[in-house]
Structure 1
Amino acid sequence: MPERSRSPTPPHHPIHGVSLPEAHIEKIAEIVFPGREAINIRQLESGKSFNNRIYYLDFPGELQNNLGCVLKVNGRFFGADKIQNEVSCLNILGQYCPDIPSPSVVAWSEDGTTVAIPGHPPVRLDEDVAPSSPGWILMTRVPGSPVSDLQLNDDDMTSICEQLADMVAQWRLRIPPQTYCGNLTFHSGPSESADIRLDIDPENSHGSHTLAVRGLVDGAIRLSEPIASEVQLHRIRLEAKLCELNTDETYSPNRRLAPEICEFIEKTLPRLFHGAPSSSSSSFVFTSYDLAPRNVLVVRTDRNAPPKISGIIDFEFAGFFPEKEEFMEAYVAGRSDWGEPGYSSFLKRLQQLGVDTPPIPGEGSGSVQSWTRERLLSTMIDNIAPWWLPGPYEGEELAIKLAECLRGVETAMRLLKERVPDEMS
C-alpha cells in the first residue's frame, strides 16, 4: 500500500488530486517485471515534488545495491508531449553521455493505459484497473540525496558545482547540436527525415529511436513546424503569454499592457536580433533547463572528502535551445539557490571548458551585452502571465503580486527598447 504524504497537496499545485491506485501500480510492475511477486510502494511526501506525483518501487529480496525504480506520474496540465520529451532526452543522454549518472527509462505510458517497454510491443491495461489515468514514466532510481536537502559548507558546494560544470560541458560537447529549437517528440515519418536518430532499441515500435525537435512543453506550445531562430523562439513565447494575458481572468488587471506588448513583438523584437540569420544550422544545444540543487543528487563515501554527484534527474523540460538558456533561470532568479562561491566556481569551470556563461560578478567575464538582452527578455516573458499566479494568493495579496509583475514587464520592455540602437550599431 503506498504510504500517504504527511500533509495535503495545496490545491494550486499541478499534482493536486493526482494519484495512481495501488492496483494500477502493481499491474504496471507485473507487466514490466514479470515473475516478481512482491513490491513495496512508497509515495514521495507532499512538498517534495511540484509537477509530478512520485512513487518509489522497491522489490524485497533483491540485491542490496538494487535501488528499485521511480514512477513519475504527470501532474495536471501536462500531456503526452512531456512524456515523449523526457523519454527522448534520457535516451539521448544514455547514448552520448553514458558517464553522466542519470536515470534510464524502463517503461512509459503517454495516456496512462498503454504501456510502452523498449524493444517490446505495447501492452494495454484493463480499463477497470487504469481508468482515465495520467501519463507516466518508470525509470531506474539513482542513488544519493538532493543537494537541496543537505547542509553543506562552501568547500563542499564548490566541489559539487565544479563536478556539475564538468557534466554540463559533457552534454554540450558530446551531444550534436541541432538546426531546430525546442523539445522532443517521437518521429513517426521516414527515418531519413528525422532530426535525431539514436542507435538504441531499433525495434521499438513507438519510434523513440527517431526524434523530431518540435514545440515547447513548458508553455504547452505544440507546433507542426520547427523553430529555426532565436527571434522566432521569443516571438512564439511572447505571443503565447499575450494570449494568456488576454484570456485568463487572473491577469485581467494587467491587460492594459497588451497593445504595448503587441507593438514590441512587431517592431522591437526583430531589431534586437538584427543581423542574426533567420535560420542557423546546428545552432541549438542540448539544455537541461533545470539545474536546481533539488535535481542534483550526491553521496559522500569518505567523510574527509567532498560529496560526489551520484545523479542528475528531472529532464522533463530539457531539449535543444540557444546556448544561453541553460543559465537563464539561475541568472535571473535562482543564483542564490547554489550560493557563493559555488555558483561562481560553476561558471569559471565552464569557461575553462569552453562553454559561454553569464558574466561572473567582479571579474568582467562573459559577453555582458548579449547576456543582458537574454535576461531582460526572460524577465519580460516570465512576468506577462506568471504561471505561479494566482497560486496561494488572493485578494489584496494577488493584486500586489500582479502589480509587481506589471512593473517588471514595463521595465524590461523599456530597457530592451533602449538597447535597439546599440544592437543596430
Structure 2
Amino acid sequence: MTANDTTIIPSSADEETLVAHLYTEAQGPRKGIYLSFDQAQRLLHFHLPGKQLKELSYFNRGYNNRVYLACCTDASEYVIRLGGRFWDHRKITNEVQALALARKALGNVVQVPTIIGTSVDQTHKVISHDYIVMSRLPGVPLDSVWDDMSLEEQEKVVDQVAEIFARLRSIELPGIGNFNIQKEIHWLQSDGKFAETMAYLPRIETLVKTIESGDLEKRFQGMSTQDAVAVVGRPISFTHGDFESRNILVVGHKVVGLLDFEFAGGFPSEQEWCAGFEWLFARAEDPFDKGEQEKLKSMGQDQKQLLDYFLRILKDKHGIQQFGKDCEEYKVVLYHLQINMAPWWLRDTLKEDWTDKQRQSMTTAADSLDKALAFLGC
C-alpha cells in the first residue's frame, strides 16, 4: 500500500469532524457508515482484550464497504470492515462460512483472512454497524502493481491464480445460494428507479415460465455440439463472486492472499466467469452491451497472450474450460439480464436527480435487456 491508499484517522477527531471532512458520501452503500478512533478501540478491546490501538487508517478503496487498518501498540495489525447500509448481518455470516470452506480447499497455496470477531451475534454488537474484524494479510493488491510487472512475471501470477481458481472450483455443494439460510426475505423500496425496465415485465414473466418448464435449456442444448451439452450438467460449486485483481494480494510476483468473500456462494460453477476475471479480459461480458464488447476488442497483444495463456493453463492443467460458448451462451445472457433488470450500481437517488451518466447507464441497461429478451425468445 502507498500513502495515497490510506488516510489516517486522528484519535482526537469527533464524529462531526469526520463526517464533514472524510465520510462525505451523499449516497451509496457507505453513506453514514463510518468508524472513529474510539469506536475502533472498543471493537479491539471487546474481541481482543488487552490490545491497545496505536493508529487507525482508512483504506481509500472500495464501494460496498468501508475498510480500516488498525495498528496496535504491540505491532500487531488487524483489518476492520464495516458492511454497507444496503445489507445486514447475513452478508457477514455468508463471508465467515465462505472463508472456512475456502481455507480448507486452498491449504497452503494462498492465505485467506482469519476472522477475529464479527457483529453476527446481535446481542454482543459493539457498534451500530455490521462489521468483521480479521487478520491483516501480507502483500499489496495486484491491481496496484500489475502494470509494472513484466510479461513473464504476469504469467507467473496467472499460473498461481489458475491453481487457486481450480481449488475453489473443486468445492462441490449440495444446494444453490449463499451460505446463510433465512426464512425472511427483505425487499428494498425502489422509489421508481427501475421504471425503464418495468415495461419489460410481461416478457420477463414469460421468460420465467420458460425457464421453470425446462424449455429454454432444451432449446439451446439443441443448437450445440455434444461436448457443449455435456458441460451443462456440472454441479453446484463454490464461487468467489468477485475474482478480480483488487482482491488478490501479492508480494513481488508471488500470490499470497485472496480477499473479499462477501458475495461467495454455491452456484453453477460457470457463473464465476460472469462475475470475475475482468482484469484478464476473461469475464463473460454482456453480449448486448456495446461498451463491454468494445472493451474486449481493445485488448493489446500482451493482453491477448495472457488471456490465451490463462485459458490454456486452466484447460490443460486443471481441466477447466472457459464458459460462455455454444449452448452455454444463454446463461451468460441470463446473468446479465438480471443485472440490467434491477441495476445494483444505480445509486439511491430519485430519477429526477440522476446524473447524465446515470441516465445513459440506465438507457444502456434497458437496451441490453430488450435485446436479451429477444435473444431468449421472449
Which deviations, in whole Å up to 9, do the C-alpha atoms of 1:266-323 show, x marking residues without a partner? 13563122499xxx999211111111110011111xxxxxx11111100000111101
Aligned to 1:218: none
Find the residue that maps to 1:184 and give its secondary structure: coil
Aligned to 1:311: 257
> Per the alignment, do residues 312 and 268 of structure 1 end up closer, same or farther by CA in structure 2, a change over 3 Å counting?
closer
Query: Mapping of 1:270-309 within 5 angstroms?
Result: 270-274=214-218, 283-300=235-252, 307-309=253-255
In the alignment, which of 171, 181, 187 is matched to residue 168 of structure 2? 171
Contact 1:69 1:141 in 2 (8 A): yes
Find the residue that maps to 1:96 and give its secondary structure: helix
Which deviations, in whole Å up to 9, do the C-alpha atoms of 1:1-23 show, x marking residues without a partner? 82569865543321122112322
Find the residue that maps to 1:56 and give its secondary structure: strand
Aligned to 1:2: 9
Using the TM superposition, give the Cα deviation of residue 339 of structure 1 relative to its aligned residue in structure 2, in angstroms.
Answer: 4.3
Which deviations, in whole Å up to 9, do the C-alpha atoms of 1:98-132 show, x marking residues without a partner? 222111111111267615xxxxxxxxx4xxxx3xx
Name the CA distance, whole Å, in 2 between partners of 1:144 and 1:44. 14
Using the TM superposition, give the Cα deviation of residue 28 of structure 1 relative to its aligned residue in structure 2, in angstroms.
Answer: 1.6
Number of equivalences: 327
Using the TM superposition, give the Cα deviation of residue 415 of structure 1 relative to its aligned residue in structure 2, in angstroms.
Answer: 1.3
Say whether 1:14 aligns with 2:11.
no
Name the CA distance, whole Å, in 2 between partners of 1:313 and 1:40. 22
> Per the alignment, do residues 317 and 162 of structure 1 end up closer, same or farther by CA in structure 2, a change over 3 Å counting?
same
Find the residue that maps to 1:331 and give its secondary structure: coil
Aligned to 1:118: none
Name the CA distance, whole Å, in 1 between partners of 2:105 and 2:154. 27
In the alignment, which of 257, 261, 274 is matched to residue 200 of structure 2? 257
Find the residue that maps to 2:194 and give its secondary structure: helix
In the alignment, which of 315, 340, 354 is matched to residue 394 of structure 1? 354
In the alignment, which of 102, 107, 121 is matched to residue 112 of structure 2? 102
Which deviations, in whole Å up to 9, do the C-alpha atoms of 1:374-413 show, x marking residues without a partner? 1111121111121112469726544433222111011111
Name the CA distance, whole Å, in 1 between partners of 2:183 and 2:284. 28
Say whether 1:70 aligns with 2:83.
no
Name the CA distance, whole Å, in 2 between partners of 1:317 and 1:249. 26
Find the residue that maps to 2:285 and give its secondary structure: helix
Which deviations, in whole Å up to 9, do the C-alpha atoms of 1:125-145 show, x marking residues without a partner? 4xxxx3xx1111111111111
Aligned to 1:192: none
Find the residue that maps to 1:353 and give its secondary structure: helix
Name the CA distance, whole Å, in 2 between partners of 1:311 and 1:139. 13
> Per the alignment, do residues 396 and 39 of structure 1 end up closer, same or farther by CA in structure 2, a change over 3 Å counting?
closer
Contact 1:111 1:134 in 2 (8 A): no
In the alignment, which of 147, 150, 158 is matched to residue 161 of structure 1? 158
> Per the alignment, do residues 96 and 398 of structure 1 end up closer, same or farther by CA in structure 2, a change over 3 Å counting?
closer
Name the CA distance, whole Å, in 2 between partners of 1:224 and 1:148. 38
Contact 2:211 2:217 in 1 (8 A): no
Aligned to 2:364: 404
Contact 2:92 2:130 in 1 (8 A): yes
> Per the alignment, do residues 399 and 147 of structure 1 end up closer, same or farther by CA in structure 2, a change over 3 Å counting?
same
Aligned to 2:312: 348
Aligned to 2:329: 372
In the alignment, which of 253, 268, 277 is matched to residue 322 of structure 1? 268
> Per the alignment, do residues 331 and 274 of structure 1 end up closer, same or farther by CA in structure 2, a change over 3 Å counting?
same
Aligned to 1:202: none
Find the residue that maps to 2:335 and give its secondary structure: helix
Say whether 1:81 aligns with 2:38.
no
> Per the alignment, do residues 387 and 37 of structure 1 end up closer, same or farther by CA in structure 2, a change over 3 Å counting?
closer
Gaps in structure 1 of 5+ consecutive residues: 116-124, 186-213, 215-221, 226-239, 301-306, 360-366, 419-425
Contact 1:79 1:110 in 2 (8 A): no
One-letter amino acid of the counterpart of residue 16, structure 1: K
Find the residue that maps to 1:39 and give its secondary structure: strand
Say whether 1:143 aligns with 2:89.
no
TM-score when normalising by structure 2: 0.76
Using the TM superposition, give the Cα deviation of residue 38 of structure 1 relative to its aligned residue in structure 2, in angstroms.
Answer: 4.3
Contact 2:234 2:268 in 1 (8 A): no
> Per the alignment, do residues 399 and 38 of structure 1 end up closer, same or farther by CA in structure 2, a change over 3 Å counting?
closer
Contact 1:142 1:311 in 2 (8 A): yes
Name the CA distance, whole Å, in 2 between partners of 1:353 and 1:223. 42
Contact 2:95 2:263 in 1 (8 A): yes
Contact 1:102 1:311 in 2 (8 A): yes
Name the CA distance, whole Å, in 1 between partners of 2:307 and 2:59. 29
